[in-house]
Structure 1
């Protein structure tokens, strides 16, 4: 598969800036608002003489990639009606860029994994197929998906994005480091409590930190996703649902100042290019990381680790994240039931249990959480149960990060400037706020065109 590189301006244009919002819709064989047919190839129908080939683009590597490959193989071996042609495309961002280019070239896949910051842009361009009729025809109960997860893909009463690799941030800590520092075997209840603990966790070689108490990722590693919860904890936020920006609010700036101070004033936290790798290597005693990092940490860490809810400040705050599956309008109408058949399989209670236990991603089905297999796993591996218990306390991310084109990187690069480059928080956040307002303008215009 040829990799197509697009700069941010080109991608924004292709994904709906201003008057070009419907540019990709012309590439689609049918508008997504139309009710898709559910009779041809629907689950339970007579096997076809030749299996229907459905192309799936995805983004996972390492242990998570192995788990998804196994899931596809299980599906292909379980029946003869549908064959999934599984194609790895790179990171979430690379996958989305390739889907954009493929839609324009009319070579797009039938199904694509789309992250929390990308699916909405394709919805806005009207190149996603709604799931409701397809799910009903396949006997998929959409109410069995975890409410905070399924509701994020709901627009105008229809579902456009099915939960699959969904996550939340957790507080991870190295139990050996905790024990050596004489700390209780739990995460900190509040950031103020962690400030009291942190100096006891730092290890030095001369004047150089050998082990930090905490590590921050960079912009490319989704620091803006992790900081979303911290902003809420301090009483701030990135934006309102109507795209009113709040990066310059006093409490949002206070959250940013806390991040700055952990590195440059308290000096117990460090920026990291790969937080999970540094945690596994013992270079940081703790970090906020995705539930989706848990499988790799479990497989590779040579120490026992614990997980905890995110610390509070004024209040609790934690966002959801990760990726879901979408059917693109490039998928011919007669193939959509076959595409739905795979999505139903990949997110059914049994597959959810397999996927969650092998990756650390959230079990997206309520019945999976309640199953005997998952309940036994909670006992065997209580670190994973933390994510399930925290989920009801989470909330969807602010529009500034997930709905504004490149919002994640706009905020993330700003956070890099304060954690890595030691710049003034208020000044940086003012610039971030102005950029977000500028980039949000065409989205607001496009939303009016699409939703009224």
Structure 2
């Protein structure tokens, strides 16, 4: 009996300890439980858990249970297996390029439906972010972790190279010259690195006003062909090839971790990264980190950037009570306070413009004004089909194809041919999918 008592006490204490480590409160049996699948890890996971815990403690009717499902790709594969069944989560976080699949799956309830029922004020959401997740006038998901690409640079290395850290380069030629000076002035440093992550190619295309696929980036009709192999796509490849010939371009392949490490150890002076990485870079860099807009060709006016990240989707087939409870949590996540905390602790943008009035952001911007650069770039974006981003079910597959084209670039192959080959492969995949959908 005594041994059983000891075991019971041990199990109870273990449960308490696990609860403390997770930072999450426990559900009350009388609450409506909402299962929330997400793909956040590292600092974003800590920030997310805090928001969830604050929500759970703010009321006694709803309990949100967050469940990590691996990367966006791993999570989407899991959702595909359970979507539309009782095993589906109430809320699912899907990557931006998974939006077309989610809409066509038939396994979701458009968030617009709940917004209309509750007369939710859409102006609480940033217009440029809403635009990405709106198709045919309907908002399908609640924006959440929104990011854009920025250029992060070593401000101390800039000074050493005779560059003004308060005036970072803006155009391709300016970046090329800055990369040369950084490489020459800082032993063991390459001036710039470009990760083989096709999202950056898509963004450099959009900043020129270039569309990735036809039918206005798939926004006004079903896309039938790729258009990224245009002159604007070639501009990007030519610029990278020029810096490669200059000996100023570092190649980290597809490893974002290695590229970040290269920057922090001062082997790279400038690189493109997600704004979501800013907080971590500011914290860990042994030098001052500067933030700049992504580059554009010299003779083309800047159009802006496309929102990246992910949004929250409501699963179909849940009870009306669960739907309303899930939407209540979404609204809490979108509130100014939640978004302000999320922004400062991660670098993701506030989806609610009211967040910029929160004391935590005002105070942080005075301390770290670099945060504002990414926000300004986002707010300077013109609303066009190019900057709303491509809407196509095959975007994940297209990125795999484009990754091969970027690899060809680094291997010295013909630039236009590499782009055309990638476009041909995407066109084949589009034709097969469109034909299958007609049957």
Scaled by the length of structure 2, the TM-score of the pair is 0.83
C-alpha RMSD of the superposition? 2.5
1:373 to 1:204, Cα distance in 2 relative to 1, 3 A: closer
Q: Does 1:238 align with 2:212?
A: yes
Q: Which of residues 308, 311, 315 is equivalent to 2:301?
A: 315
Output aligned runs, 1:441-452, within 5 Å: 441=431, 444=434
CA shift, 1:147, in A, is 0.3
Task: Report what 2:425 is aligned to.
Answer: 435
Point out where structure 2 has 5 or more consecutive residues left out of the alignment: 1-27, 382-386
CA shift, 1:137, in A, is 4.8
Q: Which of residues 361, 372, 384 is equivalent to 1:374?
A: 361
Q: Does 1:413 align with 2:413?
A: no
Q: Which of residues 57, 72, 82 is equivalent to 1:77?
A: 57
Task: Report what 2:389 is aligned to.
Answer: 397
Q: In the comparison of the two structures, how many residue pairs are matched?
A: 392
Output aligned runs, 1:43-442, within 5 Å: 50-103=30-83, 106-137=86-117, 140-185=120-165, 186-202=167-183, 210-218=188-196, 223-233=197-207, 236-240=210-214, 241-242=217-218, 243=223, 244-263=225-244, 265-272=245-252, 273-274=255-256, 275-313=259-297, 314-316=300-302, 317-394=304-381, 395-399=387-391, 404-419=395-410, 421-441=411-431
CA shift, 1:283, in A, is 2.0
Contact 1:404 1:443 in 2 (8 A): no
Contact 1:103 1:330 in 2 (8 A): no
Contact 1:54 1:84 in 2 (8 A): yes
Contact 1:146 1:365 in 2 (8 A): yes
1:49 to 1:98, Cα distance in 2 relative to 1, 3 A: closer
Contact 2:172 2:239 in 1 (8 A): no
Point out where structure 1 has 5 or more consecutive residues left out of the alignment: 1-47
Q: Distance in 1 between matches of 2:80 and 2:110?
A: 19
1:445 to 1:162, Cα distance in 2 relative to 1, 3 A: farther
Contact 2:341 2:360 in 1 (8 A): no
Which segment is superposed worse, 355-364 or 115-124? 115-124
1:164 to 1:235, Cα distance in 2 relative to 1, 3 A: closer
CA shift, 1:399, in A, is 3.9
Q: Distance in 1 between matches of 2:124 and 2:177?
A: 42
CA shift, 1:136, in A, is 4.5
Contact 2:205 2:232 in 1 (8 A): yes
Answer with 1 or 2: which has the greater Rg: 2
